Amino acid sequence: MSRDILQHCGPWAVVTGASSGIGRAFAFALAERGFAVVLVARRGDALAAVADEIRSRHGSATRVIAVDLGEAGAAAAVIEQCAELDVGMLVAAAGFGSVGPLLERELADEANMVDVNCRAVLELTHAFGRRLVARGRGAIVLLSSVVAFQGAPRSANYAATKAYVQSLAEGLRLELAPRGVRVVACAPGPVESEFAARAGMRDGSAARPEVVANETLRRLTRATVRPGGLAKLLGWSLSLLPRAGRVRVMAKIMVGMARGASA
């Protein structure tokens, strides 16, 4: 799939969360494959730096859209600013998480997480999905997680948002495949990124964002990609347990990550 991705999806890709981490890695991986890239994130200065580096390294066209996808109307602004572009791929990589007992977290922060991780993903997927169907080809990559397949104590709300994304991707894959649009859920484990730092997580075996992006783009025909060795190991080992057992194991994993962050 990696060879014909530009032919099937090009010429433009929209990548959210493109200022750092997985989103940034997707932007560079797509530019390397010949795509022009729309970079979406909150920090305009960081996006401008990414755009400059992409143009310098790959000669790709870029467009920067600095918006906070947690705010009402932000997704609509992205859609409007891409109206005249021939967008063939959406990578919805923007998102954030948290670690700690839910009732000790600020409700406003957790609600904002739902807005960014779920509502904005829905709005962008709905709008760009319609455009891809109209052109008869394209792809949508939605960022799921290893925690999407069971509850995750001490990260309960984040896991719930990723369960939504995983389910959305699985359902849309069968809806849109007959219309020429590929949909894949990318479900990594811990990743070296600002996301992990913001969530208060640390794991010595975390995958590099470049591994996540490149492995996903190589496997766009799959329903779910689990990039990185740890994601594959966790997915396989947890699948052997009943759901209640997976939740208990995930509770121990999250406690370990929280301890690592405070060490």
pLDDT of 158 over the 80 cut: yes
Instruction: Output the pLDDT for position 240.
Output: 79
Domain of residue 17, CATH code: 3.40.50.720
Dist. CA 159–CA 145, nearest whole Å: 8
The pTM for the full model equals 0.90
Mean pLDDT (whole number) for 9-15: 96
Residues of the chain with pLDDT > 70, as a percent, come to: 91
Kindly report, residue by residue over 200-237, the tens digit of the pLDDT: 445 556 789 999 999 999 999 999 999 988 888 887 78
Longest dimension (CA), the chain: 52
Predicted pLDDT of residue 252: 82
User: Catalytic positions, please?
Assistant: 158
Identify which has the larger pLDDT, 27 or 6. Answer: 27
By percentage, how much of the chain surpasses pLDDT 90? 76
Q: Is the separation of the CB atoms in 207 and 191 below 8 Å?
A: yes
Residue 174 burial by CB count (10 A; 0-12/13-18/19+): exposed, middle or buried?
exposed
User: Helix H segments across the chain?
Assistant: 5-9, 21-32, 44-58, 74-81, 107-114, 120-135, 156-176, 194-199, 209-218, 229-239, 243-262
- Residue 198's pLDDT is 46
- Pick from 202, 208, 188: which is nearest to 255 by CA? 202
Other C-beta atoms closer than 10 Å to the C-beta of 185 total: 26
Handedness of CA 28, 79, 125, 96 (dihedral sign): positive
Q: Which domain does 248 fall in, by range?
A: 5-262
Position 195 confidence tier, pLDDT thresholds 50, 70, 90: very low
Q: How many domains does the chain divide into? A: 1
Which pLDDT value is given to residue 42? 96
Per-residue pLDDT at 104 exceeds 80: yes
Name the average pLDDT for the chain. 91
